[in-house]
Amino acid sequence: MSNVEIPTATTVDTTMAASTAQFLSPVVMGLEALVVNGKQAHWHVRGANFVGVHELLDTIVAHAQDWADLAAERIVALGLPVDSRLSTVAAKAAQTAVPAGFAPSDVIIRAVISDIDAVLADLQAAVDGLEETDVTSQDVAIEIKRGLDKDRWFLFAHLAS
């Protein structure tokens, strides 16, 4: 018989966990909505710069999915659940300007930028709100914000003259 101790669950500060969930849950929902609406935009973009925008939207969708996973896993690691069921994400995804059908690339880009801006507002709230309660979770929000800012810039560059 081995004398190796089996580790037990770590004790988590419930106030810290609740704060993290409060600030990162809207980020998860916003990013999941961006995945849905970004794919819609990806499939329906039209125009002279179709290929560039079409492929960039796929990259943005992949990033959003990865970042949603990162934020959700942080919440779950602290012992709290994340509700990202289809009905919950659909309510958030409905708040978009991404058209239901084909649209010129400038219309699509403006709509996706608007969706990104909504997530960036939630991320800034998380960065500000987590500063006092959980700097590790704040770091997660900062990492996501840094990447999403870059994706927004890449999209915006298609509109700039």
Look up the CATH number of the domain holding residue 66: 1.20.1260.10
47 inside domain:
yes
Candidates 104, 87, 109; CA nearest to 38 is 109
Q: How far apart are CA 54 and CA 62, in angstroms?
A: 13
Candidates 98, 103, 99, 105; CA nearest to 54 is 105
10 inside domain:
no
67 inside domain:
yes
Written as six digits, the tokens of 56 are 């960039």
Which pLDDT belongs to residue 161?
A: 77
107 inside domain:
yes
7 inside domain:
no
Question: Is the dihedral angle over the CA atoms 127, 134, 32, 151 positive or is it negative?
Answer: positive
Categorize the per-residue pLDDT at 90 as very low, low, confident or very high, splitting at 50, 70 and 90: very high
Residue 18 · residue 2 · CB < 8 Å? no
The burial class, CB within 10 Å (0-12 / 13-18 / 19+), for 22 is middle
Range of the domain at 55: 15-156
Mean predicted confidence (pLDDT) in 8-13: 66
8 inside domain:
no
pTM of the shown model: 0.92
The pLDDT of residue 108 is above 80: yes
Which pLDDT belongs to residue 9?
A: 55
Written as six digits, the tokens of 102 are 């084909």
Which pLDDT belongs to residue 13?
A: 86
116 inside domain:
yes
Q: What are the angstrom distances between the C-alpha of 39 and each of 85, 100, 103, 111, 138?
A: 18, 11, 14, 12, 28
Categorize the per-residue pLDDT at 114 as very low, low, confident or very high, splitting at 50, 70 and 90: very high
Supply the DSSP symbol for 24.
H
Which pLDDT belongs to residue 8?
A: 53
1 inside domain:
no
Q: Report the domain count for the chain.
A: 1
